[in-house]
A and B are shown apart, each in its own frame.
Chain A
Amino acid sequence: MPETIGFLKPRQAVLDRRGEIIADLADLLPEGCLISDERGLKPFETDAFLAYRRLPLAVVLPETTEQVAAVLKYCSRYGIPVVPRGAGTSLSGGAIPQEDAIVVGLSKMSRILDVDLFNRTATVQAGVTNLYISEAVGADGFFYAPDPSSQLACTIGGNIGMNSGGAHCLKYGVTTNNLLGVKMVLFDGTVIELGGKALDAPGYDLLGLVCGSEGQLGIVTEATVRLIAKPEGARPVLFGFAASEAAGSCVADIIGSGIIPVAIEFMDKPAIEICEAFAHAGYPLDVEALLIVEVEGSEAEMEAMLQGIIEIARRHGVVTIKESQSALEAALIWKGRKSAFGATGRVADYICMDGTVPLSQLSHVLRRTGEIVASYGLRVANVFHAGDGNMHPLILYNINDPADAARAEAAGNDILKLCVDAGGCLTGEHGVGIEKRDLMHHQYNKADLDQQMAVRAAFDPQWLLNPSKVFPLEGRPQA
């Protein structure tokens, strides 16, 4: 397909020194930590934003923080761009490399270093997967709260890079609210530690700044995260509606009533059909929209909360209410929801939007999204975190038809502008990456963006860390 999103032009001086650079990197790293042949580089050319790909100059897979530091020190000395990578599950192209870049993959740093149940913390290497943390402490009655749909694969380092969320952050917050500390390597190879096992740290909240910085401020190699005691029980309940708008306004009323469930997920009819065909979760197929509302606590607490929610849902004309009757049913309900993107991939190519809007705008934005996508002659499936207004329209298209792909991208841009104009933002949890980079002007004016870029330059004055991402390519301050 024709590429509408540009990358920085590769630095010829770097490309010319390719052989030398690879030899130098080989000296810095143990055997088996460097990939430079085309076949080996191929898996690293893109992430989950599949429409764009670039073969990097080389991939390094360090085993220690010191090795990461040695590579960054080298790259900073010779002006070589660096693209950090966790599991490569970014939906916004955050991990897509460029021809003159070294990919620093953290996959070999995948150990849990310390579990401290007294202080309810876990300290892990950046390549540990999200779900692995919860699995490691589950038997002791704890879990790590942020749960992106890709949690089986995605790494904690990548979660920090994107400040990832998930279905349950309505109650527990996103990555930044659950992160206590990091060890990270700055671009010149300096290793610093921010935060730790205490709840706050002295000085500026650099930890808060690093979280969600998309690999532009340094490379996180270790993280200390908060653990939370698992609730006694949790129960997802399905609420089916005859119209999307009714489901949307029901969400706003639930939140407005002062009841805050753990999760409120929304699916429209196309999404229900796709997910049900994949997961056989028992989703009702005769409704236009479905809410998955999860409550947790003791039996009596869940019952009390559900009564309140059911009352509100009735006011909005709910047509089906289905409580999960067993742990297996509950697991299937979540399996269907969490595999929504993968299941959609079985029926069509798609791009996934991630704008967040104020709850009062939910119904309006849903309706307009449908109109926008239809105006481009395309189809859309909506499956998203309704409780916090984080929308995920999946625009279905055919990746092998260039015109179709261009229309999908244009529709996506229109939807994101709609979200911003409704008082929301371009991205709630997937990050800007390359995907939304050129829309940043729509959300921020020049002074806003200049201030962000000045902060970025304070960390990486040469603009070598993940340089094609987040900020529009024009107007960047010169080192």
Chain B
Amino acid sequence: MIVHFEPASEEGIASVVRSAAAERVTLAIVGGGTRSGLGNPVRADRTLSTRRLSGIVTYNPAEMTMSALAGTPLAEVEAALAAKGQMLSFEPMDHRGILGTTGEPTIGGTFAANVSGPRRYVAGAARDSLLGVRFVNGRGELIKAGGRVMKNVTGLDLVKLMAGSYGTLGILTEVTFKVLPVPPAAATVVVEGLNDAQAAAVMAEAMAQPVEVSGAAHLPESVRGRFIDGALPEGAATVLRLEGLAASVEMRAEKLAAALSRFGSASKLDAGQTKALWAEIRDVKPYADGTARPLWRLSVPPSAGQQLVAALRLQTGVDAFYDWQGGLVWLRMEAEAEAELVRRYVRALGGGHATLVRADGEARARIPAFEPQAPAVAQLAERVRASFDPARIFNPGRLAAVA
């Protein structure tokens, strides 16, 4: 039986890690467990959960920063922020829908997986909001990095390194992050009936306008009906979000629709529909389908997204929609994961990377979830990892290039 540790303090975690390191016992690090399907399967001797390390430590709305223990439920953080009219600017996605997991996502897990959403391409990823961390490294030492101020270049930026390290460098115990005011108004301009290539051009044009688009997604006809209860107009929908002061959103929406009028007819969604739509885009609703059909997350230059999907369509059965101006492609395979094909095309069409977010157990065991890196970078990453966790006890296998 796998022994499960749930220390209730930083010192408790450090102490478990020190013994584990001494005995070369490997640890799977979990928060709420809602994202445990991300990355390669972990094979560890024991499990350590940060669940009991929970609670908001400090929240000063006037300084736009919050510190919370790693196991604090994300919902608790977001509720506390909402009560003061603030939010996480990076819109972390909820993976429960597509992965079919249950439980509560934690703030630590959110940063450990650098989970971001639609606003990421203008407001930065989780890593850009993270100001400071406390973590226990693989030697069982409690380390702090960064702080609680917006600008800080004092020493090496270990904060960035911890974000997105999937618990392989250290166990986050406390995170301090920047928050932003909730925009008082929001609207979405919908350009109707574009094909993928036209939509890419429209989104690029929108981003070149001085109207501060804060979300740019393209929802082809195949997925359009699955958003906001089918309330989007017929045909493909290219959706552009505007946020800010009410009068300003109104004016910018008009300006944007006028600038794009030559591409197709445009309509507008109100604040309520806007909120629902972007939450569903964020959570990849069309593919939260209760299946294990292979789902890829492609992060590529925006111009390459639709070219990639068009090229893959000629080879195999795929369905896709686009966020981040076309640079984030959610790609669901009809049958096999086709890892070799997908990754070859990503390389051929301008670079970026492909992450296998979901697949059945057999495919997950066979296909590296994360894009294999160039050998020199992989070696460097391994040396960096060894500097945190020399005994390699944290989440063995999670980031492995070959599972």
Residues on A lying within 8 angstroms of B by beta carbon are 116-121, 140-142, 162-163, 165, 169-170, 173-174, 176-177, 186, 190-194, 196-209, 211-213, 216, 229-232, 252-253, 255-256, 258, 260, 297-298, 300-301, 304-305, 356-360, 385, 388-390, 423-432, 436, 440, 443-445, 447-452, 454-459, 470-471
Residues from chain A with Cβ under 8 Å of B302 in the complex:
118-119
B231 at the interface (CB under 8 A from A): no
Flag if A428 contacts B152 (CB, 8 Å).
yes
Residues from chain B with Cβ under 8 Å of A430 in the complex:
153
Flag if A458 contacts B384 (CB, 8 Å).
yes
Complex Cα distance, B154 from A357, in Å, reads 13
Complex Cα distance, B139 from A450, in Å, reads 12
- Taking A119-B204, A200-B125 as given, write out 19 further A-B residue pairs in contact, using a Cβ cutoff of 8 Å, ordered by the A residue number: A173-B128, A174-B151, A199-B125, A204-B165, A204-B381, A205-B160, A216-B156, A301-B247, A304-B247, A360-B62, A389-B151, A390-B150, A424-B147, A429-B153, A447-B143, A448-B144, A455-B156, A455-B384, A458-B380
Chain A residue, CB-CB nearest to B244 = A301
A199, A231, A298, A445: the one contacting B120 at CB < 8 Å is A199
Flag if A300 contacts B247 (CB, 8 Å).
yes
Known interface pairs A199-B121, A199-B324; A359-B62 also in contact (CB < 8 Å): yes
Residues from chain A with Cβ under 8 Å of B384 in the complex:
204, 206, 209, 455, 458
Interface size class of chain B, counting residues whose CB lies under 8 Å from the partner chain: 35 or more
Complex Cα distance, B388 from A116, in Å, reads 38
Flag if A455 contacts B244 (CB, 8 Å).
no
Flag if A298 contacts B248 (CB, 8 Å).
yes
Known interface pairs A165-B151, A451-B143; A200-B299 also in contact (CB < 8 Å): yes
Complex Cα distance, B145 from A457, in Å, reads 17
Residues on B lying within 8 angstroms of A by beta carbon are 60-65, 85-86, 114, 120-121, 124-125, 127-128, 137, 141-145, 147-161, 163-165, 169, 180-181, 204, 207-210, 212, 244-245, 247-248, 251-252, 299-303, 324, 327-328, 350-353, 355, 370-371, 373-374, 376-378, 380-381, 383-388, 399
Residues from chain B with Cβ under 8 Å of A297 in the complex:
210, 212, 248
B63, B147, B385: the one contacting A360 at CB < 8 Å is B63
B137, B181, B371: the one contacting A258 at CB < 8 Å is B181
Flag if A211 contacts B387 (CB, 8 Å).
no
Residues from chain B with Cβ under 8 Å of A174 in the complex:
151
Chain A residue, CB-CB nearest to B61 = A256
A170, A197, A423, A457: the one contacting B352 at CB < 8 Å is A197
Complex Cα distance, B156 from A431, in Å, reads 10
Residues from chain B with Cβ under 8 Å of A471 in the complex:
155
Complex Cα distance, B326 from A389, in Å, reads 36
Residues from chain B with Cβ under 8 Å of A140 in the complex:
208
Flag if B373 contacts A169 (CB, 8 Å).
no
Flag if B210 contacts A196 (CB, 8 Å).
no
Residues from chain A with Cβ under 8 Å of B149 in the complex:
356-358, 388-390, 423-425, 428
Flag if A256 contacts B142 (CB, 8 Å).
no
How far in angstroms is the closest Cβ of chain B from A3? 23
Complex Cα distance, B259 from A145, in Å, reads 24
Flag if A203 contacts B143 (CB, 8 Å).
no
Chain A residue, CB-CB nearest to B85 = A258
Flag if B387 contacts A451 (CB, 8 Å).
yes
Residues from chain A with Cβ under 8 Å of B163 in the complex:
205, 208
Flag if B161 contacts A208 (CB, 8 Å).
yes
How far in angstroms is the closest Cβ of chain B from A150? 15
Residues from chain B with Cβ under 8 Å of A116 in the complex:
301, 303
A176, A358, A436: the one contacting B154 at CB < 8 Å is A436
A-B contacts counted at CB < 8 A amount to 262
Chain B residue, CB-CB nearest to A200 = B299
Residues from chain A with Cβ under 8 Å of B327 in the complex:
119, 198-199
Complex Cα distance, B150 from A260, in Å, reads 13
Chain B residue, CB-CB nearest to A256 = B62
Flag if B148 contacts A423 (CB, 8 Å).
yes
How far in angstroms is the closest Cβ of chain A from B194? 16
Flag if B160 contacts A192 (CB, 8 Å).
no
Flag if B301 contacts A119 (CB, 8 Å).
yes
A202, A205, A216, A230: the one contacting B370 at CB < 8 Å is A202
23 contacts between A and B (CB under 8 A): A116-B301, A119-B303, A120-B204, A193-B374, A193-B377, A197-B300, A200-B164, A204-B161, A205-B114, A206-B380, A208-B127, A208-B160, A229-B210, A255-B63, A256-B63, A258-B181, A260-B181, A301-B251, A423-B149, A451-B141, A452-B155, A455-B388, A470-B156
Flag if B148 contacts A358 (CB, 8 Å).
yes
Known interface pairs A198-B352, A458-B384; A212-B143 also in contact (CB < 8 Å): no
Flag if B62 contacts A440 (CB, 8 Å).
no
Centre residue among B153, B204, B252, B303 by max chain A CB count within 10 A: B153
Chain B residue, CB-CB nearest to A181 = B351
Flag if B153 contacts A428 (CB, 8 Å).
yes
Complex Cα distance, B60 from A445, in Å, reads 26
Chain A residue, CB-CB nearest to B245 = A304
Flag if A203 contacts B63 (CB, 8 Å).
no
Complex Cα distance, B375 from A191, in Å, reads 11
Residues from chain B with Cβ under 8 Å of A385 in the complex:
151
Complex Cα distance, B212 from A305, in Å, reads 16
A169, A204, A452: the one contacting B151 at CB < 8 Å is A169
Residues from chain B with Cβ under 8 Å of A424 in the complex:
147, 149
Complex Cα distance, B151 from A359, in Å, reads 12
Centre residue among B85, B145, B299, B377 by max chain A CB count within 10 A: B377
Chain B residue, CB-CB nearest to A208 = B160
Complex Cα distance, B212 from A206, in Å, reads 29
Known interface pairs A199-B299, A425-B147, A470-B155; A205-B161 also in contact (CB < 8 Å): yes
Residues from chain B with Cβ under 8 Å of A194 in the complex:
377
Known interface pairs A119-B301, A424-B149; A451-B248 also in contact (CB < 8 Å): no
Residues from chain A with Cβ under 8 Å of B63 in the complex:
252, 255-256, 358-360
Flag if A425 contacts B154 (CB, 8 Å).
yes
Residues from chain B with Cβ under 8 Å of A356 in the complex:
149-152
Complex Cα distance, B154 from A249, in Å, reads 26
Centre residue among A230, A258, A444, A450 by max chain B CB count within 10 A: A258
Complex Cα distance, B163 from A204, in Å, reads 8
Complex Cα distance, B180 from A216, in Å, reads 33
Flag if B251 contacts A440 (CB, 8 Å).
no
Flag if B151 contacts A443 (CB, 8 Å).
no
Centre residue among A174, A231, A444, A454 by max chain B CB count within 10 A: A454
A173, A252, A390, A447: the one contacting B62 at CB < 8 Å is A252
Complex Cα distance, B210 from A142, in Å, reads 9
Flag if A212 contacts B161 (CB, 8 Å).
no
How far in angstroms is the closest Cβ of chain B from A239? 19
Complex Cα distance, B57 from A423, in Å, reads 15
How far in angstroms is the closest Cβ of chain B from A475? 14
Residues from chain B with Cβ under 8 Å of A120 in the complex:
204, 207-208
Flag if A426 contacts B154 (CB, 8 Å).
yes
How far in angstroms is the closest Cβ of chain B from A68? 15
Residues from chain A with Cβ under 8 Å of B137 in the complex:
451
Residues from chain A with Cβ under 8 Å of B125 in the complex:
199-200
Report the 9 A-B pairs with minimum CB-CB distance, sorted nearest first. A208-B160, A256-B62, A258-B181, A428-B151, A198-B352, A197-B301, A454-B387, A458-B383, A388-B150
Residues from chain B with Cβ under 8 Å of A117 in the complex:
204, 208
Flag if B147 contacts A196 (CB, 8 Å).
no
Known interface pairs A119-B302, A192-B377, A208-B127; A213-B156 also in contact (CB < 8 Å): yes
Chain B residue, CB-CB nearest to A140 = B208
Known interface pairs A447-B143, A452-B158; A229-B351 also in contact (CB < 8 Å): no
